[in-house]
């Protein structure tokens, strides 16, 4: 992909190096352990612990009671910049599409995290992979997941772009009301199989939206290079539930699918990519709901 020098998004919230606690005002950082330590040190030095505490609070070197900020591993920033450029591209594409329909596109935030995060959708470990939370309109992405993709045989920057575009596709479903409709359908589902089938339709539509993005991103900024689409399709195929199940050593069981088969994901990504029109992403219509 040709992405260097392109605009980066202002909507990335990078919390990878913050430790588990958000930064608190200095005075609030003193935990019981630290207070006890100051008390002991104060007694040992023959000083008034309260005075020591006072000095400590004024010095702005408070220690978080939770984990410390982590050091940045080298080479990670390139990946973070890439993510930011792709998010900016989705903003441009969807912003233009919404405004040509006379609407405003509410841009989602993208949270880069590591080792689990608290979202409006609950606590998620990085093992769950990237996800979109409709409650806070944020895409959550752990760069560690990209290593997992690598393990599945997916490589290349477009594959990563596809994953982001898919999550942004869920955001589009949310702000256009499809998500609400989906919840309603799902609450009326008569069986787990039916509920799963509905989830598959949501996922395939998000794949189709990722394809729509790829189409427009390329015509707006010529970001695609030879082989990029194959990379995207490879990613779509690799993350298909049938492949996942096979890799997990289970028999492929279509009723348990929540993302769609590799073949379905490729098909819908291609549909969106070729048409560049969200009206072709008719996964629900085709299921005759």
Smaller CB distance to Zn ion: residue 113 or 140?
Answer: 140
Site of tokens 């589902």: 189
Strand blocks (E) in the chain: 12-14, 109-113, 117-119, 122-124, 131-133, 138-142
Q: Could you give the C-alpha distances from 14 to 72, 109, 154, 184, in angstroms and in order? A: 12, 10, 24, 34
DSSP characters over 175-244: HTTHHHHHHHHHHT-SSHHHHHHHHHHHHHHHHHHHHHHHHHHHHHH----TTHHHHHHHHHHHTSHHHH
Return the number of the residue (81 or 282) whose C-beta is nearest Zn ion: 282
Give the number of residues in contact with Zn ion, rule: CB under 5 A.
2
Distance CA 241, CA 196 (A): 12
Residue closer to Zn ion by CB (options 110, 206) is: 206
Interacting span for Zn ion (CB under 5 A) from 4-12, 13-21, 206-214, 262-270:
206-214
Three-state DSSP class for 91? helix
Tell me how far, at minimum, the Cβ of 131 lies from Zn ion, in Å.
Answer: 7
Query: Please, what is the minimum distance in Å from the beta carbon of residue 212 to Zn ion?
Result: 15
Residue closer to Zn ion (CB basis): 169 or 276: 169
- Give the binding range for Zn ion (CB under 5 A) out of 38-46, 184-192, 202-210, 278-286: 202-210
Q: Closest approach of Cβ 96 to Zn ion, in Å?
A: 23
Q: Are 174 and 183 in contact (CB under 8 A)?
A: no
The pattern of x and - marking residues 152 through 191 that bind Zn ion according to CB under 5 A reads ----------------------------------------
| Least CB distance to Zn ion at residue 148 (A) | 15
CB of 91 or CB of 203, closer to Zn ion: 203
Task: Say how many C-beta atoms besides its own lie within 10 A of residue 153's C-beta.
Answer: 12
Interacting span for Zn ion (CB under 5 A) from 42-50, 204-212, 215-223, 281-289: 204-212
Whether the Cβ atoms of residue 62 and residue 21 lie closer than 8 Å to each other:
no
CB of 236 to Zn ion, least distance (A): 11
Applying CB under 5 A, the residues found at the interface with Zn ion are 203, 206
């Amino acid at each position: 992909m040709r992405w260097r020098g392109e605009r980066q998004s202002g909507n990335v919230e990078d919390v990878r190096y913050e430790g588990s606690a958000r930064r608190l005002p200095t005075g609030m950082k003193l935990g019981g352990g630290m207070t006890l330590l100051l008390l002991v040190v104060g007694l040992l030095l023959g000083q008034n612990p309260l005075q020591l505490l006072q000095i400590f609070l004024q010095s702005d070197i408070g220690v978080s009671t939770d984990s410390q900020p982590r050091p940045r591993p080298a080479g990670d920033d390139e990946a973070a910049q890439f993510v930011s450029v792709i998010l900016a591209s989705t903003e441009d594409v969807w912003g233009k599409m919404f405004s040509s329909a006379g609407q405003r596109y509410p841009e989602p935030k993208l949270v880069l995290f590591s080792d689990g995060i608290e979202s409006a959708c609950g606590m998620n470990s990085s093992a769950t992979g990237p996800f979109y939370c409709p409650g806070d309109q944020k895409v959550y992405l752990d760069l560690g997941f990209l290593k997992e993709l690598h393990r599945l045989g997916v490589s290349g920057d477009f594959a990563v772009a596809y994953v982001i575009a898919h999550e942004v596709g869920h955001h589009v479903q949310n702000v256009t009301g499809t998500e609400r409709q989906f919840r309603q359908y799902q609450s009326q589902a008569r069986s787990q199989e039916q509920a799963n089938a509905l989830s598959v339709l949501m996922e395939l539509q998000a794949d189709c939206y990722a394809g729509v993005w790829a189409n427009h991103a390329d015509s707006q900024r010529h970001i695609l290079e030879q082989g990029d689409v194959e990379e995207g399709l490879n990613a779509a195929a690799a993350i298909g539930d049938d492949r996942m199940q096979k890799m997990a050593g289970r028999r492929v069981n279509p009723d348990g699918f929540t993302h769609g088969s590799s073949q379905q994901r490729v098909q819908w990504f291609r549909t969106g990519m070729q048409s560049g029109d969200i009206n072709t992403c008719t996964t629900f219509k085709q299921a005759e709901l």
